[in-house]
Structure 1
Amino acid sequence: MKKYNFLTLMVFATLALVSCSNDDNGDDDGQTANLESQVYATSNTDGNVRRYDNDDSGNTTTTTLITLSSDSEGIYYDESSDQVTQASRSLLQLNTYADASITPDGVTIEVTASSSIDLVSPRDIAVNGNIYVVADNADVDGDPNTADGRFFVYTKSGSNFTLRNTVTVDFAVWGIEFVGNDLYAVVDKTSDIAVFTNFTATNTTDATVAASKRITIEGIVRTHGIAFDGGTMILTDVGEASSDIDGAFHVITDFETKFNAVADGGTMALAGNQTRVSGALTLLGNPVSADFDSTTNTVYIAERANGGGRVLSYTDIGTGGNVGPTLNATLSGASSVYFTR
């Protein structure tokens, strides 16, 4: 899921820095540095969008973009239009906002598109062309003893979102990610992931469907976040929901080959297939969302519990283990992240 933002932006060294390790890395000659990347994040606490601008000197600045929402989860940035879309848990709809990469701190961003009010408990967004899929973890049949979840499938044209159809599945959902035309989905409350091959073309009407394949990821207690870029899949482990110190994430290189090698219902072994990052230095408790930049091998995490919420990044994963973050930005209620270069 490589994402590139080619807008020619400048970050001023006088802005407040949020990276705990990069507070004093301004340019010695007083010149501004070129923007290298941006990370967008949502929050369950206030619903606004946070933008983290990372420059080529290693500095990070934070900007708060005011939205209509008071609680949001699931985010996507479209670099071609400089628009950010988030799923609102307070308004129960998708909202798209303009000028996301250049709007100053504390400004209310302009709404350019909104869906109808369809959602119940949105958790993530996955985008493939003009198709926007929202994973919703509300109980579909009203029976808490049966596992189920739902995908709301929208088409976006200009300023219009149209609900095309809903897809009900026999497991609770959370994170989702397109790899080509295949939709990978976290099976919430388990250590499993499922795939729906050729998802958008196959599932065009309201229906209850079974996954094309489902496997268990050894070493994970309960997965939530999922991200893919350059052949590598990232899966987060929230562990026990009540703990703010037992989180982790797994890095699986050459993911599609390894996934295809496991039979439906089987288990992908940890040894030889995955790298696990966990431990006190990671600051991971409930990592609910992830993104990945394969160019720099950087993992981005929305951490919901530790410290009340953080946006974290990791660039020195190596063989895994107790690795500290390179970016540690406090964000109350952090719920999702999206990286763009």
Structure 2
Amino acid sequence: MSYSLLILLLGVVGCNKDDNLNPGVETSTTAHLYATSHNGDVRRYDINSGIVTNYANSSSDIEGIFFSAVDDAFTIVSRSSGMLEMYQGIGTLGEGGTKNPEIILMSNPDLESPRDLAVNGDFYVVSDNTDLDGDETTPEGRLFVYRKTESGFSLRNTVQTKFKVWGIEFIGEDLFLAVDETSRLAVYREFLNTYINNRIATADKIIAIQGLVRAHGLDFDKGTMVVSDIGEVESSSDGGLHIIQNFEEKFSNTSNGGFIGAEEQLRISGANTLLGNPVNLVYDAAYNVIFVAEALNNGGRVLAFNNATSVSGNIGPDLRYGLQGVSSVFFYTE
């Protein structure tokens, strides 16, 4: 089945109520959406079959997940333990119901308020938005850089940012960051090779996204960057998604301190979108779909929007599934 036909079908079957995963829609051989919650849930939604699998784990609060087919394992960022935790044997456990994967690797409990996870090879980078000096007028954040080894996740170094940080994303060797409580994105060029020691770092470049209120999640795939906007924290209806095609060129052409204009992007927002606090997201270019962890609307939902690079405005999601306290998503397909 072609990707365009897949998206058409997904849109036609698109749900009108929660707990509809569009069963029977054929995608690729494997199309698994992982989601975590602040209640310690790890769930996998099979987009082909609609089967939901729950994974028991030792955490009671999770924000950040990554699945590795090579390791047949997922790694979560545990807020309750302050650690990275890797669980193995996902493919051998089957699907449906609740599974009990084995935890095989952990980090030390270094983290205080982790918010996102970005992976580059054996390096696992976690953003942390702890207020280090107790003074809200002097914003800062931290990036914990771990190396995955045979015995665990070893903390290589910690980089302190000069702003509050939330979402993070690698594009090649460059690390892009959502500057929390602002409309801005920052970048550290050649991050893993440049920032090898504990230090306070100045971003190489910071730009704004016109129309965005408060950036949180971001994800990049094949030229397109998608950034989520949570708007006002208390509002369950003012969130949005900003889709920026040819992002690298637009970012490069924007001067430090400048902005990418509204005419250079698409925005999905409005009451029909069910977006209030979209705290995390993942974009897949092959299917041209955005999966969203919506934390506030209805107490928490996993949402999906098809035709991501050609739609905008106050549109309804093509998929929604209730998950109280949802905090992060990750999409794996073959």
What TM-score, normalized to structure 1?
0.89
Alpha-carbon distance in 2 for matches of 1:87, 1:177:
15
Unaligned runs of 5+ in 2: 1-16
Q: 1:277 and 2:277 equivalent? A: no
Q: 1:184 and 2:184 equivalent? A: no
Alpha-carbon distance in 2 for matches of 1:143, 1:100:
43
Q: Per-residue deviation at 1:112?
A: 1.0
RMSD (Å), alpha carbons: 1.7
Q: Per-residue deviation at 1:62?
A: 1.4
Alpha-carbon distance in 1 for matches of 2:272, 2:91:
31
Distance 1:274 1:112, change over 3 A: same
Identify which of 261, 285, 289 aligns with 1:294: 285
Distance 1:19 1:101, change over 3 A: farther
Q: 1:204 and 2:196 equivalent? A: yes
Identify which of 48, 52, 62 aligns with 2:41: 48
Alpha-carbon distance in 2 for matches of 1:310, 1:62:
14
Partner of residue 83, structure 1: 73
Aligned residues: 314
Distance 1:231 1:26, change over 3 A: closer
Q: 1:238 and 2:225 equivalent? A: no
Partner of residue 8, structure 1: none
Q: Per-residue deviation at 1:34?
A: 7.2
Alpha-carbon distance in 2 for matches of 1:172, 1:140:
10
Q: Per-residue deviation at 1:40?
A: 0.6
Distance 1:144 1:73, change over 3 A: same
Identify which of 168, 178, 181 aligns with 2:160: 168
Partner of residue 74, structure 1: 64
Alpha-carbon distance in 1 for matches of 2:85, 2:200:
26
Identify which of 119, 131, 135 aligns with 1:127: 119
Partner of residue 7, structure 1: none
Alpha-carbon distance in 1 for matches of 2:123, 2:56:
25
What are the within-5 Å matches in structure 2 for residues 6-85 of structure 1? 19-20=19-20, 22=22, 25=24, 35-44=29-38, 46-55=39-48, 59-85=49-75
- Cα pair 1:35 1:53 within 8 Å, conserved: no
Alpha-carbon distance in 1 for matches of 2:195, 2:37:
30
Partner of residue 5, structure 1: none
Partner of residue 4, structure 2: none
Alpha-carbon distance in 1 for matches of 2:92, 2:240:
33
Identify which of 299, 312, 326 aligns with 1:320: 312
Q: 3-state DSSP class of the match of 1:256?
A: helix
What is the letter of the counterpart of residue 281 of structure 1?
N
Partner of residue 246, structure 2: 254
What is the letter of the counterpart of residue 291 of structure 1?
V
Partner of residue 112, structure 1: 104
Distance 1:21 1:300, change over 3 A: closer
Q: 3-state DSSP class of the match of 1:139?
A: coil
Distance 1:264 1:309, change over 3 A: same
Distance 1:209 1:294, change over 3 A: same
Q: 1:100 and 2:100 equivalent? A: no
Q: 3-state DSSP class of the match of 1:281?
A: helix
Alpha-carbon distance in 2 for matches of 1:34, 1:144:
47
Q: Per-residue deviation at 1:292?
A: 0.7
Cα shift readout 1:228-285 (whole Å, capped 9, x = no counterpart): 00110000000100001111101111100000000001111011x1000011121110
What is the letter of the counterpart of residue 321 of structure 2?
A
Q: 3-state DSSP class of the match of 1:240?
A: coil
Q: Per-residue deviation at 1:140?
A: 1.6
Q: 3-state DSSP class of the match of 2:47?
A: strand
Alpha-carbon distance in 1 for matches of 2:25, 2:234:
39
Cα shift readout 1:118-161 (whole Å, capped 9, x = no counterpart): 00000000011111100001112222221100000000012411
- Cα pair 1:291 1:300 within 8 Å, conserved: yes
Distance 1:159 1:324, change over 3 A: farther
What is the letter of the counterpart of residue 212 of structure 1?
D
